[in-house]
């Protein structure tokens, strides 16, 4: 089980829970199961998000491994100028 933090307005789409527990070994499983368990999140996840693992930012990185030791946050997809 990994703990995932959602940003405020995303939590509102997941029945108001800012922190979720998900059975996932990597980012692919994490995003898949988040969408399955909380259909409200699906459109946002499909549009694209960033995943922060212990403060490091990942975009499009399915196989990045995660465990209960990691701090995991879903964030709006980070872009730059």
Partner 1 sequence: MGKQDRDFKAVGTRPLRPDGVEKVTGRAKFGADLSAPGMLVGRFLRSPHAHARIRSIDTSKAAALPGVKAVVTGDSFDITKVSSGNHDTLANVMARDKALYEGHAVAAIAAISVSIARKALKLIEVDYEVLPHVTDVDEAMAADAPLLHENMFTANLTPKPTKPSNIANFYEFGHGDIEAGFAKADVIIERSFKTAATHQGYIEPHACLANMTQDGQGELWCCTQGHFMVRNVCADLMGMEISKLRVTASEIGGGFGGKTTVFIDPVALMLSKLAGKPVKIVMSREEVFKASGPTSSTSMRIKIGATNDGRLTACEGEFNYQGGAYADSPVQFGAMSAFACYDLEHVKTVGYDVAANRPKNVAYRAPGAPMAAFAVESVMAEMADRLGLDQLEFRLKNAATEGTRSSYGPTYNSVGLTETIKAAQSHDHYSAPLGANQGRGIASGFWFNFGGQTAVSLNVQEDGTVNVTVGTPDIGGSRASMGLMVAEELGIEYDNIRCIIADTSSLGYNDVTDGSRTTFSSGLALINAAKDAKAKMCARAARIWDIPAEAVEWKDGCVQPAGANAGEFEPMSFAEIAANADNTGGPIAGHHEINASGAGVSFGTHMVDVEVDPDTGYVKILRYTVVQDAGKAVHPAYVEGQYQGGAVQGIGWALNEEYIYGEDGRLQNAGFLDYRMPVASDLPMIDTVIVEVPNPGHPYGVRGVGETSIVPPMAAIANAVSQAAGVRMTELPMSPPRVLKAMDDAKGG
Residue 41 DSSP label: G
Q: Is the dihedral of CA 70, 36, 19, 47 positive or negative?
A: positive
User: CA 37: distance to chain centroid?
Assistant: 12
Minimum gap (Å) between residue 32 Cβ and partner 1: 18
Minimum gap (Å) between residue 49 Cβ and partner 1: 11
Residue ranges in contact with partner 1 by CB under 8 A: 5, 7-10, 12-13, 18, 43-44, 52, 54-61, 64, 71, 73, 75-76, 78-81
Question: Backbone dihedral region of 16: left (phi > 0), alpha (psi from -120 to 50 degrees) or beta?
Answer: left
Q: Whose Cβ is closer to partner 1: residue 1's or residue 55's?
A: 55
- Tell me if residue 7 falls in helix, strand or coil: coil
Minimum gap (Å) between residue 14 Cβ and partner 1: 10
Q: Whose Cβ is closer to partner 1: residue 39's or residue 57's?
A: 57
């Amino acid at each position: 089980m990994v703990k995932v933090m959602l940003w405020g307005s995303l939590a509102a789409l997941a029945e108001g829970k800012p922190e979720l527990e998900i059975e996932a070994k990597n980012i692919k499983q994490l995003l898949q199961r988040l969408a399955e368990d909380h259909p409200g999140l699906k459109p946002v996840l499909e549009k694209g998000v960033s995943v922060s693992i212990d403060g490091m930012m990942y975009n499009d990185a399915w196989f990045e491994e995660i465990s209960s030791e990691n701090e995991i946050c879903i964030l709006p997809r980070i872009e730059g100028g």
